[in-house]
Chains A and B, each alone.
Chain A
Amino acid sequence: MTACAKGDSGLESDARSEVRRRERPWYVTVLRNRRLVIGGLLLLGVLSVAALAQGLATHNPLLVRPEIRLTPPNAEHRFGTDNFGRDLYSRTVYGARISLVVGGLVAVLAALAGTLAGLLGGYYPRVDMGLMRVMDGMMAFPGIVLAVGIMAAMGPHVANVIVALTIVQTPRVVRVVRSVVISLRGMQYVEAARCLGVTDWRMLVRHILPSCISPLVVQCTFIFSEAVLGEASLSFLGVGAPPEIPSWGVILGEARLYIRNAPWMIFLPGMALTVTVLALNLVGDGVRDWLDPRLRKTL
């Protein structure tokens, strides 16, 4: 930044330092991004818990022991037991797996379906008309209500939760990808490529898709976080994961019924859920700033 040679006007030195800033290696800009670093570390923590669940858990998360039901935290069960005598700590640890698997799969599936539809819709105006009416219709449902409706038809199962949340989230991806495609469609380089005889498919994949990647990554991080919340909400309502599954939402749904006698049940799964969603939101904000510093705003 101090590489301003003698005789340079202030304006030029500004421009030069701007160039210098862009020349910094990527890991420096990542490490300077506080939100990305904090969010990334938290997320890494949650991922490790999910990966090492077997080693971290002290009890079998499914083992029912009615004789010790609703035991307050003690030396044996550090965070107490639930209404079936299952160890809350171990259930919460295993819950990380459900959350991350559901959230991750929903993000990936919605990205794939949404990118395909968004590319086609943005590139072919004739497809666009019908597609966008359908997407507008889907966006007219509040997410949780549509998800509950779909779960009602398909029945409580973790796989169905993934399908329902993917249906809910896909229109968001379509909108993002489509808007990028439309803004690129009229660009000179696209026209030039077309004059050179590039096929539609090659145009979409080689020349347009790469520009969609960064907004797509940002959008998918937020979808990940919304899907984690969505799974927990559906399971909390009793229409998501079946009751024996150690999902954070399921545990909190049961905790609600015993809040007078066993308030410790709400603590750990709720914290875990909040930390996971917070981590994903921070990473999402961080990635957005990192990819496009002009958008930097809060904090």
Chain B
Amino acid sequence: MLVYLIRRVLLAIPVMFVVAAGVFLLLYLTPGDPVSVILGPDASPERAEELRQQLGLDQPVPVQVARWFGRLLQGDLGQSIYLNRPVIQTILERAEPTLMLTLLATLFAILVGLPIGIVSATRAGSWADLGAMLVALGGISMPSFWVGLNLIFVFAVLLGALPVAGYEPLSKGLWGNLRYLVLPAMTLGFAQAALLARMGRSLMLDVLREDYVRTARSKGVGERKVVLYHALRNVMVPLVTVMGLTFAILMGGAVITEQVFNIPGIGRLLVQSVLRRDYPVVQGIVLVIAFNYVFINLCVDILYGLFDPRVRHS
């Protein structure tokens, strides 16, 4: 297990290196001089020179690369041009809404998607199954922001039951926080719930065809116990991976959902920073989200090794 763990961690390092290099390269994708793009055409030469120094663009490229990696190793993501504060600080301040939203959406996706998939599998071919799978197919085809707009229209505009948009921090109480996050979490989790339902169903169908399930049935085990006790266990192994990744995927999707509901999280900061041409913040957020993704992937891999000894020795 230790060997497996070390190998996994070592494999993650080059990925993180490539991610960091890619984010560094983002600034070089700008057409022409990044400084003039950031400041616009009317900037004074002094301000331009100042910014050039701040971004380190006055140095030769190898020095820039070295500095970039050197800073990253110290956990320094640079300085925001627009807010004039350390990038890492602005990101941390905006982390709470994004984490809450992603967590709730993950819960929604798992608690709604999985049971639907499993029940559908046990009644494969029935009208309920067909209906559920049609909804799931629609779910993966509907853009999340459109789902969100429809939810806002029905629950906030027509019924007036929930706030249209905005956010209340957790420190002001859980209830108020949840009231603002119910619709966003459903919006964000919907597509993933649909995906989990489809996967859960097809995995369950496969397992229900296995010999040992037939054996269990033939020795008189009740259908309910066969599904929940014998079959579900083997369905869970691959699903743990999917559920772990769900959190990581939804973190990216939160960028869109936060924009729909005006939630002041990391995703909204990213979009705002793009529009403000605040490149250090854009780079910082893209990097943080990608690192997070790599980290969760690593955790899932390690968990997978714990659950399934075959993985460890392959």
User: Which residues does A use to contact B, with CB under 8 Å?
Assistant: 133-134, 136-138, 140-146, 148-155, 225, 229, 232-233, 236-239, 252, 255-256, 259-260, 263, 266, 270, 273-274, 277-278, 281-282, 297-299
Contacts and interface: CB of A to CB of B under 8 A. Distances in A.
Nearest to A136: B15
A143 B31 contact: no
Given A144-B252, A145-B270, A260-B157, A277 B143 contact: yes
B22 A137 contact: yes
Interface in B225-264: 248-249, 251-253, 255-256, 259-260
Interface in B257-275: 259-260, 270-271, 273-275
Given A153-B26, A237-B271, A239-B275, A273 B15 contact: no
Given A239-B271, A259-B149, A274-B146, A142 B251 contact: yes
A155 B31 contact: yes
Interface of B: 14-19, 21-23, 26-31, 37, 130, 133-134, 137-138, 140-143, 145-146, 149-150, 152-153, 157, 164, 198, 201-202, 205, 248-249, 251-253, 255-256, 259-260, 270-271, 273-275, 277, 279, 282-283, 285-286, 289-290, 293-294, 297
A137 B294 CA distance: 9
A109 B20 CA distance: 25
Contacts of A232: 143, 145
Question: At the interface, is chain B mostly helix, strand, loop or mixed?
Answer: helix
A142 B23 contact: no
Contact of B19 (A137, A150, A252): A137
A142 B133 contact: no
Could you say which of A141, A153, A229, A255 has the most chain B C-beta atoms within 10 Å of its C-beta?
A: A153
Nearest to A35: B137
Contact of A137 (B18, B273, B274, B279): B18
B143 A274 contact: yes
A270 B149 contact: yes
B122 to A, nearest CB: 15
A140 B150 contact: no
Contacts of B140: 281
A280 B126 CA distance: 26
21 contacts: A136-B18, A137-B17, A137-B18, A137-B21, A140-B290, A142-B248, A142-B253, A142-B290, A144-B252, A144-B256, A149-B286, A152-B277, A153-B30, A154-B31, A236-B259, A255-B149, A259-B152, A259-B164, A260-B164, A277-B142, A281-B141
Contacts of A150: 26, 29
Contacts of B202: 297-298
A214 to B, nearest CB: 21
Given A229-B143, A233-B256, A298 B138 contact: no
A236 B145 contact: yes
B68 to A, nearest CB: 15
B141 A274 contact: yes
Contacts of A151: 274
B146 A270 contact: yes
